[in-house]
Amino acid sequence: MSNSFWDNTLDLNWDMDTQASGQTIEKAEAAFHKHFADIERLEYDEPKRRAYSCYKVDDIRARRPFNVPLPVHFEVDVDGNVDFEFDAALELLPESLRSQIRVLTADRIGSLKVRSIYLRMFVEHYQDDLLSRFLMASQIDDKPTVINVAGRLTIKKDPVIDFRRYVREVHGSANGEVYDNGQSQALLGGLYMPKPQERVLNGLNHALSRNKKAKERTDLVSPPVVFWVIPDSDLWGRTALVRETLDNLRVVLKEGLGKLPDIVCVAPCTQDEHRDHLAKRARLLLAGGFSKVVFATYRTSQESFETLLVPGVYGAAMYHWTVPTADRYNVPLGFCSSSTIKLQKMAVFVRQVLTSALYSVGRSSGETMQDRWFKDASVTDYIFLDAYTKA
């Protein structure tokens, strides 16, 4: 399985000599003979130049690995129970292949990294009054509870937040509660998902309108760069909605600022990660619509944080909360805001991450994806963020 933006291919190792592999060559031959007249006519439109001969398909050989996009949909209920299902296209495949894909997907999910929960730190950093209402008392002194997750025993994590009540009150009855005197709105789900994307873009549009009027009366300067700090998650962004979000973001920025600032993706990496692997990851992120990619080493407490920031204007901050009953799944929850305090806190977070930046990757021109540069990151490139961290 794969898509345009991430290297998430599952190698099936399917034995092509077995009958279960299908009858690709036979079907190709039959289709070729059935439509031969149309195929030949496409080559020669002039009747005198057309020559009917005996053609057949002798062999079919793969020139390169073939990827079939097969979406997997994840669902989390208000109790934190997780389930996933495949796209309807899976039913078109032979049963032997369907069963392998189910097993491989479950194994892939089981291999995801288990993370500690730093939601309390997230709430404290942003001084978020809404999320703090739903924080639960720490269970450090309680006796650990052992639960069975996907056939293995594990210790049940401290949920930190009353997720059921949070979803019911904030995103059910309130439909994305607005708070901070109308400057902030709660978000649930990935920033590129339809509803959070719509709320972020609408909020940004209003903030840019206010900013434009303020610039006419003051010496405010438009932000030179937009930052999107993505979490350290293998499941983040595996959808074409990332490009859609970036395209829509550029439309709003162009209308509100009169120009298009670069949209920089800040992505996690390790100190010893091979440059070839980083270059491949960068290529996929650039293909997803980012102007430039900066790789940085994250602290453990930063791995589940996500921030989309238009400095001094608007931003969104999310925490990828680990589901206690299935510790390899994360649910993004957070807010979008034009609050001065929250924007300063976002700038502080982005600045902290960029202090450990290792590499920068971008396109030399906008023509081709092959024309890229890869260099050591310079922390001084983003020193201008300091101005947005202060009142």
How does pLDDT run across 200-248, given as a tens digit for each residue?
A: 999 999 999 988 777 655 555 678 899 999 999 887 888 889 999 999 9
pLDDT at 13: 59
Report which of 290, 309, 300, 325 is spatially closest to residue 224, judged by C-alpha positions: 309
Judge whether residue 270 has pLDDT over 90: yes
CB atoms within 10 A of CB 208: 20
Please give the Cα distance from 27 to 31 (Å, whole number): 6
Long-range CB pairs of 210-217 (<8 Å, 24+ gap) are 210/338, 211/256, 211/312, 211/313, 212/256
- Could you tell me the pTM of the whole model? 0.76
The more confidently predicted of residues 30 and 225 is 225
CA 221, distance to chain mean position in Å, is 30
What is the pLDDT confidence band of residue 59, given thresholds at 50, 70 and 90? low
CB atoms within 10 A of CB 301: 13
Judge whether residue 6 has pLDDT over 60: no
Mean pLDDT in residue range 303-326: 91
Judge whether residue 262 has pLDDT over 90: yes
Q: 3-class secondary structure for 334-348? A: EEEECCHHHHHHHHH
Question: How much is the mean pLDDT over the chain?
Answer: 80
pLDDT at 64: 55
What is the pLDDT confidence band of residue 97, given thresholds at 50, 70 and 90? confident
pLDDT at 165: 93
* Block residue for tokens 């940085």: 296
Mean pLDDT in residue range 339-366: 92
pLDDT tens, position by position, 117-129: 899 999 999 999 9
Mean pLDDT in residue range 140-148: 51
DSSP 245-261: HHHHHHHHHHHHHSS--
Listed range (24-33, 112-121, 199-208, 273-282) with the worst mean pLDDT = 24-33
Please give the Cα distance from 223 to 243 (Å, whole number): 21
The more confidently predicted of residues 101 and 310 is 310
Judge whether residue 288 has pLDDT over 50: yes
Which residues are registered as beta bridge partners of 85?
73
Alpha helix locations (H) across 145-274? 163-166, 194-217, 241-257
pLDDT at 365: 66
Q: CA 370, 376, 382 angle in degrees (round to 5)?
A: 105
What is the pLDDT confidence band of residue 73, given thresholds at 50, 70 and 90? confident
Which of 134-143, 195-204, 371-380 reaches the highest mean pLDDT?
195-204
pLDDT at 155: 52
Judge whether residue 141 has pLDDT over 50: no
